[in-house]
A and B are shown apart, each in its own frame.
Chain A
Amino acid sequence: MSDEELKRFGFDLEGEDKSGSFALSDDLTLVSLAKESGLEVMPISDALKLIPEVKEKYWWKLLSPDEDEITRKVAGSPLRGLFARIKKGKRIVLPMQACYILRSEAFSQVVHNVIVAEEGAEIHLITGCLTSSHVSSGYHYSVTEIFIEKGAFLTYSMFHSWAPDVEVYPKSVALIEEGGKFISNYVCLREVKYLETYPKMIVKDNGVARSYSVVYAPSNSFVDIGSKLVLEGNSSKGESISRSVSSGGKIIARASVEGRASNCRGHVECHGVILTEGGFISAVPELIAFKNDVDLSHEAAVGRLSEDEILYLQARGLSEDEAKSLIVRGFMKVEIEGLPEELKREMDRIIDMTFEGGEGL
């Protein structure tokens, strides 16, 4: 994996403008460092040895090791992964980066991460998951447990770039305590054989969880992506927004919101565009209400690009491919409330880079 390849996805091993860095290449930890006080970054194996409360408070607390095939696989594998904790009241503006690289052909990477934002803390985490350019096949299994304590704020942006024969199974659960805020962004714009991810977010009183996913599936890709928001606390809020583009690939976009407490509010949006035939998009919004004063809503639409819009841009001098590219890029650039400007620009940059001039469509 060259530095150039890493940089394309916003990861730089030096980590100059980052508050902390972690990189795992196959099963080798390349980097693990924290640059700001109040931030701890270390391999999970070290954290379990050195910090007793990791096991007591966080380790397998949001998921059970025998919940399914993926958790069993992770529980039965050598300890690899990230432990990151931001201390109480500490707010760090510079993002922290974590990178998971598949470097050897047909390697099976198995990871268990624990991320903690203590009471009133703030941190922005960017994770890049990539395949080295000479690798075409492999597996990535991961379990991530995320704890957002009272009044804390965590953003978690995942940029994935896999190869045609890679299968990916990231599994995560986030617990958002009272008044906490969590924003999860997921971007996957390159071919992947099979990707399945369905992060769960449990939101306590007055907490907020927002989940955004942007997926592009060329032919031969199968992406089953979604999120489940469980609004357990009074006046908690949740939003799940997905944008899917298929050009021959298969996408299942799921989004579920459960309103379990008084005055909770949830909204789900699944929008998909089919550019070429051969694949499908299945949009599956689900609303479940247990109280009579919850407010849950959904929007779902799947279709082709609007002919009128393409013609309009052609009349301005854009070729058909350029017009489609501009519209698709616009479709994928979701307005994400609360995400720092720098991360918004980074997401836009990656989307532009993928679809500039109609390439990849």
Chain B
Amino acid sequence: MLKIRDLWVEVGGKILLKGINLDIGEGEVHMLFGPNGSGKTTLLLTIMGFPQCRILRGEIIFNGKIINKLPMWERARLGIGIAFQSPPVIKGVKLKELVKLLSGGDGFSEELFSFLRLEDHASREINRGFSGGERKRSELLQLFAQNPKFVMLDEPESGVDLESVALVGEAINRLLERGNYVKRTPKGYSKSALIVSHTGYLLDYVSVDSAHVLLDGKLVCNKNPRDILLTIKKQGYKGCEICKEIS
């Protein structure tokens, strides 16, 4: 579904991604670990097409099409969706208004507002006075309305209390049609995802196929997510540095 080849990206005069190669197949869920400042968010924003992420070299291929030069909204319409880590307040735009627009009319299930505990937020401006957890759930709600084939989630569990992590995990499974919400095609799962995580808490709720570690703009590892998390927990990212040197 998504292939990235030798991707180099500059933001504000600094090179933040240095030769990324990544393959995410149809129905696969990948997790991305890495310390602060390693380039995780930059990678997501570059795939989405944010203009401040300038591609110096390499290709992003989505469903066989090179999308390097496509504007953001065209990428979104091809089926790429993102949940931001710290989304801004959208002044004057009500959550239910945007959700209606994204879902293309009145067909959106009202039940999703209560599922994500956002019934009281529907008529409020997007993110105005929302808590950290409410912002994350509002991002997921919008993704439900968009219904993308490829979902990028930037630290969906950060700033969320432990009780709500379970809800976020449940929502991600539902969005990706996994866990209790399985909808397999003859080939298997159909939705793919790249999830940036700091903590790995989500691994208790979402089944992740593969994980990567990003260090200083380079992907240094691609292994079982639990093995990677174990290394990080025991040795910090230094463990990954050692691993990188060995490999």
Contact = CB atoms under 8 A, between A and B. Distances in A.
Contacts of B76: 314-317
Interface stretch (A63-71, A159-167, A324-332, A339-347): A324-332
Given A326-B101, A330-B125, A314 B73 contact: yes
A313 interface: yes
A195 B82 CA distance: 45
B72 A330 contact: no
Interface in B130-151: 142, 146
B88 A309 contact: yes
A43 B146 CA distance: 55
B236 interface: no
A3 interface: no
A333 B125 CA distance: 12
Interface centre among B77, B82, B93, B94 (most CB of A within 10 A): B93
Interface in B70-114: 71-73, 76-77, 81-82, 84, 87-94, 97-98, 101-102
A330 B91 contact: yes
A326 B99 CA distance: 13
B181 interface: no
Nearest to B99: A316
Nearest to A309: B90
B60 to A, nearest CB: 15
Interface string A91-119: 00000000000000000000000000000
A34 interface: no
A330 B92 CA distance: 4
Contacts of B71: 314, 319
Contact of B73 (A306, A317, A331): A317
A347 to B, nearest CB: 14
A320 B72 CA distance: 10
Given A311-B50, A311-B72, A326-B101, A316 B92 contact: no
Interface in A157-186: none
Contacts of B88: 306, 308-309, 312
B175 interface: no
Contacts of A350: none
Contacts of A318: 73, 101
Contacts of B73: 314-320, 322
B160 interface: no
A229 B48 CA distance: 50
A314 B71 CA distance: 9
B91 A327 contact: yes
Contacts of B72: 311, 314-315
Main secondary structure of the interface of A (DSSP, over half): helix
B77 A317 contact: yes
Interface string A287-313: 000000000000000000010110111
B93 A326 contact: yes
B51 to A, nearest CB: 8
B91 A331 contact: yes
A313 B90 contact: yes
Contact of A315 (B82, B94, B125): B82
B102 A317 contact: yes
Contacts of A316: 73, 76, 81, 98, 102, 142, 146
Given A314-B72, A315-B48, A318-B73, A333 B92 contact: yes
A102 B134 CA distance: 51
A329 B92 contact: yes
Given A319-B73, A330-B125, A312 B92 contact: no
A97 B91 CA distance: 32
A210 to B, nearest CB: 19
Given A311-B72, A326-B101, A330-B125, A317 B91 contact: no
A201 B209 CA distance: 67
Contacts of A332: 92
A319 B93 CA distance: 16
7 contacts: A313-B98, A315-B49, A316-B73, A316-B76, A317-B76, A317-B146, A330-B92
Interface of B: 48-51, 71-73, 76-77, 81-82, 84, 87-94, 97-98, 101-102, 125, 142, 146
Given A327-B90, A331-B92, 16 more contacts: A309-B89, A311-B72, A312-B84, A313-B93, A315-B49, A315-B72, A316-B73, A316-B146, A317-B76, A318-B73, A318-B101, A322-B73, A329-B92, A330-B90, A330-B92, A330-B94
In the A-B complex, the 7 residue pairs with the closest CB atoms: A330-B92, A317-B76, A314-B72, A330-B93, A308-B88, A331-B92, A314-B73
